[in-house]
C-alpha cells in the first residue's frame, strides 16, 4: 500500500511517500518561501526521483490542521486536486498528532506539541505512551501549563516540540513545576513522513472496519464508496480542520459587528484611509 | 468523445466570491458553466470577507469541477488544458483555484494555463459574439477595475485610460451604502434608478486634467455624500430613485463619452464592454446608443458572462493555448496583477 503525505500547515512544506512500512522518500523545505511556489514542484520531484508512479498511490494523507489558515488550504487544495484527478480518498490527519509522532518513542514522558497560534495563543495537544491525553485545541500557554502542573503534580517529564517552543521557552521555564525538555530542531518540524505514517494506519483501520481492501476501493472509485468518515474522506468533502472560526464570524456572533458594511470595507482596504485621517487630526 | 481538431479547455475561477468551473470548446462554445456563488453568506457581513470566501472555495471546488465535466459530458482525458485565474483578486481565494488547478493538471497530465482575470472578462465577449475579432476598444468596468484599452490582438492589450481613484463598481457600492440600499451596490442602484429622473440632480462629471481617457469617481462620490448630508441636516427626505438615477447618469457619461471618443480618435469601429458593471442595464443602453449614433458596432457579454465565471477564463486560456503560453507547477497567485502583465510563461 502506498500513501502520499502532504504537510504545509506552518513554515514547513513537506511531501513524502510511504510504501507499507517503508519511507520511500521525504522532501522537506523550511526556508520561509511560499508554499504555493514550492509544494507542488517539490511533490512532483519527490515522486519522480523516488520512482513512484502517481497512478500507483492508494490514498493521500494531509496534515489537516490546526495551523496557518492559508498554509492549510494550500495543502488541502493540492491534495483535493491530486485526489480528484487520480480518484483517491483523502486521509485527514491532525497536524498536532503528526508533530507528536516525531517523538513516538518517548516512553513515559508527556509529549506536548505546541504551535504558535498568534494573538497570545498556541495550538496544542498532549500524548503519553502513544495515547492522546489532551484534545487538539487553541488556548493560552498559561492554561496549558496549569493543566500540565495539575496532571503531573511535579512528577514526570514533559517534552515540548513545535514552533511554539522558541516563543514560550521563557514562560515554560518560569512556570512549569516538573522537569521538561525541548525537542531537538529536526524533531520540531512538521514532517510529511509522520503524516503519511499516521494516515496509513488510519486508512488500514478504516479498510478493516468496513471490510474493504485497497483493490476494492480502487475498483469502486471514490464515488462508489459510501462509508467515508471524518478520518478517511471523499476528496470532494475534505476541508482543513481550522479549530478557530474566521474573525469576522466570531465578531458577528459576539454582536460586535454594529456596522458590518464598514467593517468589511475597512478589512478589505487594510484601514489605510482611516489611519491617514487619524494622523491628520493629531 | 471529441473531435481531434477541437481544443477543449477546463476553466477554474476563484478570485473573489464565486467558485466556478467551465468547459469551453475552441474558446467560444460553452459546454458547461457552473458557478457556486457565496453572495448570500457575505451579504450578512456587508461585503466579501476574504477568510470566509477562501474557506468556501476550498469546500466547493471539487464538486464544481466535477459538475462542469459531467454537464459537458466529458472526462479529464478529453481535455487539452486546464486554465485558472492567477490574479488579480483576493490572495487566499486565488490560492485555492491555483493550488487545485496545478495539482489536477499534474495528476491528469495536462498543460496548465495561467489567466489574468480581467483578460477573462474581455474574452467573455468572444463567447457571446462569435463574430467579434480584434481590434476593438474595450471598456472594462468592475468592482476593482476601470480600464479603457485597445485590444489589438487576442493577447495584446494597450491601456489607454484608467481610473485615477475608485473603480466604477466601488463608487456604486459606496453610494448604495450611503443611501441604505445595501450590498452589492451596482444592481441595487441600477434597479432604484429605473424609477428615478437622471437629470433631477446635477452631479459633476469627473474629469482628469490633460488626460482625456482617464476616469475619476472620488469627486462624484463626495458630491453625492454631500448632497445626502445637506438633505439630512435640513431634515429633508432623500428621493432615492432620483439620486440613484442622477449618480448613475454622471458615471455613465464619463464611461460612455470617453469610450466612444477613444474609438473615434483611434479609427476603430468596434466597441466592447467587460466586467461586472457591464451588466448594468442603463450603461448598456447608453453605450449602445452612443455607438449607434456613430455607426460603430457595440458588444457586451450576456449577463451570466459579465459576473465572475470560469467560461471566460477558459475562453481567454484558449488563445494562450494557441500561442503555447503555459505555466509550470511553481505558479503562484498574483493578487495585484496589472493588466497586460504576463504570468506563468
d(CA A114, CA A105): 18
- Same domain for A129 and A175, yes or no, is yes
Choose among A135, A124, A126: nearest CA to A106.
Answer: A126
- Same domain for A125 and A179, yes or no, is yes
Report yes or no: B168 and B156 within 8 Å, Cβ to Cβ. Answer: no
Confidence at residue B344, expressed as pLDDT on a 0 to 100 scale: 64
- Across A182-199, average pLDDT: 94
Helix B281-293 to helix B185-193 angle, to the nearest 10 degrees? 70
Q: How confident is the model at residue A273 (pLDDT cuts 50, 70, 90)?
A: very low
Interface test with A, best of B106, B176, B184 (most A CBs within 10 A): B106
d(CA B252, CA B265): 20
Every domain of chain B and the residues it spans: 8-124+306-323, 135-301
Lowest mean pLDDT among A194-203, A263-272, B73-82, B125-134: A263-272
Chain B nearest-CA residue for A74: B99
A77 to chain B, any CB pair closer than 8 A? The answer is yes
> Does residue A267 or residue A45 have the better pLDDT?
A45
- Same domain for A217 and A82, yes or no, is yes
Instruction: Tell whether A245 is covered by a domain.
Output: no
- Same domain for A29 and A89, yes or no, is yes
- Same domain for A20 and A156, yes or no, is no
> Does residue A271 or residue B123 have the better pLDDT?
B123
A236 to chain B, any CB pair closer than 8 A? The answer is yes
A34 with B332: Cβ contact below 8 A = yes
Confidence at residue A257, expressed as pLDDT on a 0 to 100 scale: 62
- Same domain for A6 and A90, yes or no, is yes
Instruction: Tell whether A52 is covered by a domain.
Output: yes
- Averaged pLDDT score across all residues of chain B: 94
* Exposure on the CB side of residue B272, measured as CA atoms within 13 A: 28
Interface test with B, best of A53, A62, A72, A73 (most B CBs within 10 A): A73
Do the two domains B8-124+306-323 and B135-301 of this chain adopt the same fold? yes
From the list A34, A77, A265, the residue facing B47 with the nearest CB is A265
Confidence at residue A185, expressed as pLDDT on a 0 to 100 scale: 87
Residue A146 buriedness (CB in 10 A; 0-12 / 13-18 / 19+): middle
Taking only Cα atoms into account, the Rg of chain B, rounded to an integer number of angstroms, comes to 20
Domain over B8-124+306-323 is classified CATH 3.30.470.10: no
Instruction: Tell whether A238 is covered by a domain.
Output: no
Q: Which CATH number fits domain B135-301: 3.30.420.40, 3.30.450.20, 3.30.70.100, 3.90.1300.10?
A: 3.30.420.40
Q: How far is A261 from chain B (nearest CA, A)?
A: 4
- Same domain for A171 and A223, yes or no, is no
- Same domain for A203 and A267, yes or no, is no
Residues of A in contact with B332 (CB under 8 A): 34, 36-37
Interface test with A, best of B102, B110, B114 (most A CBs within 10 A): B102
- Same domain for A121 and A177, yes or no, is yes
* Exposure on the CB side of residue B68, measured as CA atoms within 13 A: 32
How many domains is chain A partitioned into structurally?
3
Confidence at residue A262, expressed as pLDDT on a 0 to 100 scale: 44
Instruction: Tell whether A240 is covered by a domain.
Output: no
Confidence at residue A259, expressed as pLDDT on a 0 to 100 scale: 52
Instruction: Tell whether A241 is covered by a domain.
Output: no
Phi/psi for B13 (5° steps) reads: -135, 130
CB–CB contacts below 8 A, A to B = 135
Reply yes or no on whether the pLDDT at B2 is more than 60.
no
- Same domain for A106 and A181, yes or no, is yes
Q: How confident is the model at residue B123 (pLDDT cuts 50, 70, 90)?
A: very high
Cis peptide upstream of residue B219 (ω within 30 degrees of 0)? no
Q: How confident is the model at residue B340 (pLDDT cuts 50, 70, 90)?
A: confident
- Grid coordinates representing B110 are 495536462
**Residue range of the domain that includes A88:** 2-95+190-233
Residues of B in contact with A269 (CB under 8 A): none
Work out the percent of chain A whose per-residue pLDDT is above 70. Answer: 91
Confidence at residue B328, expressed as pLDDT on a 0 to 100 scale: 97
A261 with B46: Cβ contact below 8 A = yes
Residues of A in contact with B54 (CB under 8 A): 69-70, 73
Residues 6+ apart with CB under 8 A from B80: B7, B8, B9, B110, B111, B321
pTM to 2 decimals? 0.92
Instruction: Tell whether A90 is covered by a domain.
Output: yes
d(CA B130, CA B308): 20
Report yes or no: B266 and B217 within 8 Å, Cβ to Cβ. Answer: no
- Same domain for A86 and A106, yes or no, is no
Residues of A in contact with B52 (CB under 8 A): 246, 248-249
DSSP A56: G
Tens of pLDDT along B130-189? 999 999 999 999 888 899 999 999 989 899 999 999 999 889 999 999 999 987 889 999
Confidence at residue A268, expressed as pLDDT on a 0 to 100 scale: 43
- Same domain for A6 and A86, yes or no, is yes
CATH of the domain at A41: 3.30.420.40
Amino acid at each position: 500500500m502506498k500513501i502520499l503525505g502532504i504537510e504545509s500547515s506552518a513554515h514547513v512544506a513537506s511531501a513524502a511517500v510511504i510504501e507499507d512500512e517503508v519511507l520511500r522518500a521525504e522532501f522537506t523545505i523550511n526556508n520561509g518561501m511560499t508554499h504555493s511556489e514550492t509544494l507542488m514542484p517539490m511533490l512532483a520531484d519527490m515522486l519522480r526521483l523516488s520512482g513512484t508512479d502517481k497512478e500507483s498511490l492508494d490514498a493521500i494523507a494531509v496534515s489537516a490542521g490546526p495551523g496557518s489558515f492559508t498554509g492549510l488550504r494550500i495543502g488541502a487544495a493540492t491534495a483535493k486536486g491530486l485526489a480528484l484527478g487520480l480518484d483517491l480518498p483523502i486521509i485527514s490527519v491532525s497536524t498536532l498528532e503528526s508533530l507528536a509522532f516525531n517523538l513516538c518513542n518517548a516512553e513515559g514522558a508527556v509529549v506536548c506539541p505546541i504551535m504558535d497560534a498568534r494573538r497570545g495563543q498556541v495550538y496544542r495537544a498532549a500524548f503519553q505512551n502513544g495515547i492522546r491525553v489532551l484534545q487538539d485545541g487553541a488556548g493560552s500557554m498559561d492554561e496549558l501549563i496549569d493543566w500540565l502542573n495539575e496532571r503531573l503534580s511535579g512528577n514526570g517529564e514533559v517534552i515540548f516540540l513545535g514552533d511554539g517552543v522558541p516563543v514560550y521557552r521563557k514562560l515554560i521555564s518560569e512556570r512549569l513545576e516538573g522537569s521538561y525538555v525541548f525537542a531537538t530542531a529536526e524533531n520540531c518540524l512538521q514532517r510529511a513522513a509522520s503524516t503519511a505514517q499516521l494516515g496509513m494506519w488510519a486508512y488500514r483501520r478504516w479498510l478493516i472496519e468496513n471490510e474493504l481492501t485497497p483493490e476494492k476501493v480502487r475498483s469502486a472509485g471514490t464515488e462508489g464508496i459510501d462509508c467515508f468518515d471524518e478520518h478517511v474522506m471523499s476528496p470532494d468533502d475534505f476541508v482543513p480542520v481550522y479549530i478557530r472560526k474566521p474573525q469576522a464570524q466570531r465578531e458577528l456572533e459576539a454582536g460586535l459587528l454594529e456596522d458590518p458594511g464598514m467593517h468589511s470595507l475597512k478589512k478589505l482596504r487594510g484601514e489605510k484611509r482611516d489611519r491617514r485621517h487619524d494622523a491628520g487630526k493629531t | 468523445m471529441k473531435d481531434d481538431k477541437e481544443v477543449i479547455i477546463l476553466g477554474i475561477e476563484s478570485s473573489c466570491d464565486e467558485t466556478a468551473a467551465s468547459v469551453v470548446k475552441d474558446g467560444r462554445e460553452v459546454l458547461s458553466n457552473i458557478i457556486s456563488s457565496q453572495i448570500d453568506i457575505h451579504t450578512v457581513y456587508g461585503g466579501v470577507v476574504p477568510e470566509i470566501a477562501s474557506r468556501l472555495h476550498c469546500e466547493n471546488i471539487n464538486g464544481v469541477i466535477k459538475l462542469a465535466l459531467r454537464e459537458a459530458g466529458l472526462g479529464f482525458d478529453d481535455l487539452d488544458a486546464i486554465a485558472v485565474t492567477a490574479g488579480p483578486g483576493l490572495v487566499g481565494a486565488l490560492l485555492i483555484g491555483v493550488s487545485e488547478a496545478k495539482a489536477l493538471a499534474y495528476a491528469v497530465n495536462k498543460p496548465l494555463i495561467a489567466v489574468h482575470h480581467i483578460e477573462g472578462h474581455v474574452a467573455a465577449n468572444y463567447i457571446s459574439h462569435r463574430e467579434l475579432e480584434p481590434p476593438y476598444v474595450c471598456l472594462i468596468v468592475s468592482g476593482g477595475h476601470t480600464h479603457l484599452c485597445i485590444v489589438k490582438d487576442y493577447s495584446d492589450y494597450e491601456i489607454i485610460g484608467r481610473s485615477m481613484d475608485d473603480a466604477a463598481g466601488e463608487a456604486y457600492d459606496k453610494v448604495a451604502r450611503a443611501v441604505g440600499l445595501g450590498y452589492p451596490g451596482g444592481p441595487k442602484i441600477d434597479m432604484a434608478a429605473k424609477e428615478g429622473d437622471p437629470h433631477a440632480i446635477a452631479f459633476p462629471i469627473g474629469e482628469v486634467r490633460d488626460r482625456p481617457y482617464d476616469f475619476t469617481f472620488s469627486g462624484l462620490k463626495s458630491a453625492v455624500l454631500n448632497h445626502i448630508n445637506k438633505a439630512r441636516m435640513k431634515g429633508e427626505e432623500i428621493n432615492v430613485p432620483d439620486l440613484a438615477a442622477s449618480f448613475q447618469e454622471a458615471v455613465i457619461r464619463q464611461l460612455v463619452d470617453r469610450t466612444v471618443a477613444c474609438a473615434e480618435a483611434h479609427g476603430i469601429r468596434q466597441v466592447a464592454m467587460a466586467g461586472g458593471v457591464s451588466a448594468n442595464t442603463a450603461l448598456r443602453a447608453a453605450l449602445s446608443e452612443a455607438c449607434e449614433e456613430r455607426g460603430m458596432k457595440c458588444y457586451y457579454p450576456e449577463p451570466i458572462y459579465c459576473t465572475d465565471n470560469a467560461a471566460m477564463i477558459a475562453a481567454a486560456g484558449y488563445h494562450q493555448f494557441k500561442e503555447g503560453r503555459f505555466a509550470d507547477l511553481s505558479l503562484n497567485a498574483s493578487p495585484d496583477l496589472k493588466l497586460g502583465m504576463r504570468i506563468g510563461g
